[in-house]
């Protein structure tokens, strides 16, 4: 495993994944630079190539594409293939030689956009100026340039987390409120920043909101090829 992913070059395991996608008509998405398709399906495959139902907005590329899909445990998987040819209704690609699987662990962390921040109450004082470095399904890792009197075991209340987006309006970013959390570790990085691991004590609604963001972020990083 490397950078939160597993990979296999086993043709048998790759065929098992393809069998499931074909037989159950599980949805997949096709990705290449500047494009992500609507959901589509694998129509058929053999040992040499895949046949994929061609999305209505397919731009006609004959280059390398990525196929994204979730497995039975809802973990994102990815294969990289070369488009061989297209017809009016189908895309034909080479048979994939390697399958990547993004780990689904509660504490698996994904990087967040630059400018992600958090503020919270600590010992009846508002603390801010913390940069969020990464996020998991149960917490965040944050750093600040200035010393903050946070110790492992300290309780944090009324956390307000912001993850910037790429656009304006609704796409400008994601705001998230977490009612309670605990400081799990405090470190001093090589860059002299003060960093803290924070574990959330999540309500059901907070857990669903956070998990939704983590999954969306995973998908975004997969689409960009940032494993």
The residues of the chain that CATH labels 2.40.10.220 are: 110-224
Asked if residues 162 and 154 have their Cβ atoms less than 8 Å apart, the reply is no
One CATH from 3.40.50.1820, 3.30.930.10, 2.30.110.10, 3.40.50.2000 for 5-102? 2.30.110.10
What's the burial of 153, exposed, middle or buried (CB within 10 Å: 0-12/13-18/19+)? exposed
For residue 170, the model assigns a pLDDT of: 43
For residue 227, the model assigns a pLDDT of: 44
What's the burial of 2, exposed, middle or buried (CB within 10 Å: 0-12/13-18/19+)? exposed
For residue 188, the model assigns a pLDDT of: 84
CA dihedral 220, 223, 226, 227 (to 10 degrees): 100
For residue 119, the model assigns a pLDDT of: 95
pTM greater than 0.95:
no
The residues of the chain that CATH labels 2.30.110.10 are: 5-102
DSSP secondary structure string, 15-29? HHHHHHHHHTT--BE
Asked if residues 75 and 99 have their Cβ atoms less than 8 Å apart, the reply is no
Beta bridge partners of 44: 51
CATH superfamily of 110-224: predicted glycosyltransferase like domains (2.40.10.220)
> In a structure prediction context, what are the per-residue pLDDT tens digits for the chain, which is 227 residues long?
444 567 899 999 999 999 999 999 999 999 887 788 889 999 999 999 999 999 999 988 888 999 999 888 777 889 999 999 999 999 999 999 999 887 655 556 788 999 999 999 999 999 998 999 999 888 999 999 988 899 999 999 999 999 987 654 445 688 999 999 999 999 987 778 999 999 999 998 898 888 888 878 877 777 665 44
């Amino acid at each position: 495993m490397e950078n939160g992913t597993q990979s296999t070059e086993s043709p048998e395991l790759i065929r098992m994944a393809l069998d499931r996608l074909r037989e159950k008509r599980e949805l997949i998405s096709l990705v290449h630079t500047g494009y992500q398709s609507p959901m589509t399906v694998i129509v058929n495959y053999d040992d040499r190539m895949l046949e994929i139902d061609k999305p209505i907005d397919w731009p006609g590329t004959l280059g390398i594409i990525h196929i994204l899909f979730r497995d039975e445990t809802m973990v994102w998987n990815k294969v990289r293939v070369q488009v061989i040819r297209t017809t009016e209704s189908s895309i034909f690609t080479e048979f994939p030689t390697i399958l990547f699987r993004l780990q689904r662990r509660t504490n698996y962390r994904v990087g967040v956009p630059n400018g992600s921040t958090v503020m919270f109450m600590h010992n009846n004082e508002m603390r801010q100026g913390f940069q969020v470095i990464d996020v998991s399904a149960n917490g965040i890792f944050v750093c600040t340039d200035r010393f903050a009197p946070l110790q492992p075991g300290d309780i944090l209340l009324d956390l307000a987390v912001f993850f910037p987006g790429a656009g304006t309006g609704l796409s400008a970013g994601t705001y998230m409120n977490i009612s309670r959390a605990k400081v799990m570790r405090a470190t001093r990085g090589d860059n002299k920043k003060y960093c803290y691991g924070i574990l959330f004590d999540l309500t059901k609604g907070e857990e669903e909101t956070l998990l939704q963001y983590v999954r969306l972020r995973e998908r975004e990083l997969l689409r960009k090829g940032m494993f």
